[in-house]
Amino acid sequence: MNGADILVMIIVAALAAVAVLLMIRNRRKGKRGCGCSKCGGCNFPANDHKEQQRKM
pLDDT of residue 22: 93
Q: How many CA atoms lie within 13 A of 20 on its CB side?
A: 6
Tell me the domain boundaries of the chain.
3-55
Phi-psi region of 35 (alpha: psi -120 to 50; beta: other; left: phi over 0): left
Kindly report the pTM of this predicted structure: 0.55
pLDDT of residue 1: 81
* pLDDT tens per residue, range 1-48: 899 999 999 999 999 999 999 999 988 887 766 555 555 555 555 555
